[in-house]
């Protein structure tokens, strides 16, 4: 049976959320680990925009946005408008500040305090959600947790002491639960770079 093909890059948070959703849904795909600076032609042919993740379905359909891959994988579960909105805000409002924070040298006007204040607005929003439940929308991990956690992990890793000392106990507990979750560990297993003709790497 032909499997969907997932072009992915281990450390990319967008690819992580795609892998998390696929693994969470219990779907099996063929994993093709790429090098961002030398992407395979097979991937660029089907998705010329050149970002990962890219999912190629057996019927030839291409899904080239991580959000859409999560939607595809988790479609059996009910995804609410509010969950989508929180993930969307992560990509539009939080990610630009995360990029500034991660790569301060790329912007000569970089200001750490402003960045932390602006990114902090989104962190506060998550903190408020987590006030009621251990996951963002209830007692079980869902679309929003999977879609957002890889980005919060990246943010935390820039200055872990600052993050752990910030006054957001629920967010910190949620973050720790995520990084210690074996479901997360399992999607972070290292795979060699894919080359045409290689044997299939099954994921998960």
Ligand X SMILES: N[C@@H](CCC(=O)N[C@@H](CS)C(=O)NCC(=O)O)C(=O)O
Under the rule (CB under 6 A), what is the footprint of ligand X?
9, 12, 14, 36, 50-53, 65-67
- Which residue, among 186, 19, 12, has the nearest Cα to 4 in the 3D structure? 19
Report the residue number, 10 or 170, with the smaller CB distance to ligand X: 10
Contacting residues for 201 by C-beta, under 8 A, at least 6 apart: 30, 31, 32, 33, 191, 194
* Neighbour order of strands in the sheet with 29-33: 62-63, 54-56, 5-8, 29-33, 202-203
Beta carbon of residue 54, minimum distance to ligand X (angstroms, whole number):
8
**How far apart are alpha carbons 17 and 188 in whole angstroms?**
11
Report the residue number, 149 or 172, with the smaller CB distance to ligand X: 149
Task: Give residue number: closest CB to ligand X.
Answer: 12
Report the residue number, 12 or 130, with the smaller CB distance to ligand X: 12
Beta carbon of residue 134, minimum distance to ligand X (angstroms, whole number):
26
**How far apart are alpha carbons 142 and 19 in whole angstroms?**
14
Beta carbon of residue 36, minimum distance to ligand X (angstroms, whole number):
4
Report the residue number, 64 or 127, with the smaller CB distance to ligand X: 64
Beta carbon of residue 8, minimum distance to ligand X (angstroms, whole number):
10
**How far apart are alpha carbons 96 and 153 in whole angstroms?**
15
């Amino acid at each position: 049976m032909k499997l969907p093909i997932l072009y992915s890059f281990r450390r990319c948070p967008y690819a992580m959320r795609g892998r998390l959703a696929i693994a969470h849904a219990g779907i099996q795909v063929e994993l093709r680990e790429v090098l961002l600076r030398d992407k395979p032609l097979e991937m660029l042919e089907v998705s010329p925009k050149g970002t990962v993740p890219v999912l190629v379905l057996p019927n030839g359909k291409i899904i080239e946005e991580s959000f859409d891959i999560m939607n595809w994988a988790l479609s059996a579960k009910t995804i609410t408008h509010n969950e989508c909105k929180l993930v969307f805000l992560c990509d539009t409002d939080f990610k630009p500040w995360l990029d500034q924070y991660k790569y301060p040298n790329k912007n000569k006007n970089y200001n750490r305090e402003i960045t932390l204040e602006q990114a902090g607005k989104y962190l506060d929003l998550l903190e408020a959600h987590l006030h009621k439940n251990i996951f963002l929308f209830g007692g079980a991990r869902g679309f929003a947790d999977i879609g957002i956690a890889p980005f919060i992990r990246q943010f935390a890793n820039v200055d872990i002491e600052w993050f752990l000392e910030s006054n957001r106990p629920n967010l910190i507990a949620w973050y720790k639960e995520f990084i210690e979750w074996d479901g997360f560990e399992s999607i972070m297993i290292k795979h060699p770079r894919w080359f045409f003709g290689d044997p299939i790497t099954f994921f998960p």
